[in-house]
Structure 1
Amino acid sequence: MNYSFEYIDIILLAMIAGFIFLRLRGILGKRTGFEGKVPPQFEEALNKARMEKVEKIKENFDDSAQKEFLKGAKVAYETIITDFSDNDNKIVASKPLLSKEIFNQFNEALKQRSKRGHYAEITFIGVNSATIKEHKRIDKILNVTVDFIAEVITCIKDKDTKVVSGDPEKIKKIYDTWVFSRDITSANPNWQLVNTLT
Structure 2
Amino acid sequence: MNYSFEYIDIILLAMIAGFIFLRLRGILGKRTGFEGKASAQFDKILKEAVNQQPTKIKETFDKNDQKEFLKGAKIAYETIITDFSDNDNKITNSRSLLNKEIYNQFNEALKQRNARGHHAEITFIGINSAEIKEHKKVDKTLNVTVDFIAEVITCIKDKDKKIVSGDPEKIKKIYDTWIFSRDITSMNPNWQLVNILT
The residue aligned with 1:166 is: 166
Q: Give the conservation status (yes or no) of the 8 Å contact 1:89–1:119.
A: no
Aligned partners of 1:159, 1:5: CA distance in 2, in Å?
Answer: 47
The residue aligned with 1:33 is: none
Aligned partners of 1:64, 1:137: CA distance in 2, in Å?
Answer: 17
Q: Deviations over 1:128-187 (max 9, x none)?
A: 000000001011100000000000000001122211110000000000000000001111
Aligned partners of 2:109, 2:98: CA distance in 1, in Å?
Answer: 14
Q: Does 1:4 align with 2:51?
A: no
Q: Which amino acid aligns with 2:189?
A: P
Alignment of 1:38-49 (within 5 A): none
Q: Which amino acid aligns with 2:149?
A: I
Alignment of 1:32-71 (within 5 A): 57=59, 60-71=60-71
Aligned partners of 2:86, 2:161: CA distance in 1, in Å?
Answer: 14
The residue aligned with 1:96 is: 96
Aligned partners of 2:191, 2:85: CA distance in 1, in Å?
Answer: 22
Task: Name structure 2 gaps, 5 residues minimum.
Answer: 1-52
Per the TM alignment, residue 86 of structure 1 is displaced from its structure 2 partner at its CA by 1.3
Bigger mean CA deviation after superposition, 175-184 or 152-161: 152-161
Q: TM-score, normalised by structure 1?
A: 0.70
Q: Give the conservation status (yes or no) of the 8 Å contact 1:3–1:184.
A: no
Aligned partners of 1:3, 1:185: CA distance in 2, in Å?
Answer: 9
Gap change, CA 1:98 and 1:104, over 3 Å in 2: same
Identify which of structures 1 and 2 has the higher relative contact order when contacts are C-alpha pairs closer than 8 Å and 6+ apart: 2
Aligned partners of 1:5, 1:152: CA distance in 2, in Å?
Answer: 33
Aligned partners of 1:88, 1:105: CA distance in 2, in Å?
Answer: 15
Aligned partners of 1:129, 1:91: CA distance in 2, in Å?
Answer: 25
Q: Which amino acid aligns with 1:128?
A: N
Larger radius of gyration between Structure 1 and Structure 2: 1
Q: CA RMSD in A?
A: 1.7
Alignment of 1:23-172 (within 5 A): 57=59, 60-172=60-172
Q: Give the conservation status (yes or no) of the 8 Å contact 1:3–1:185.
A: no
Runs of 4+ residues deviating >3 angstroms: 1-6
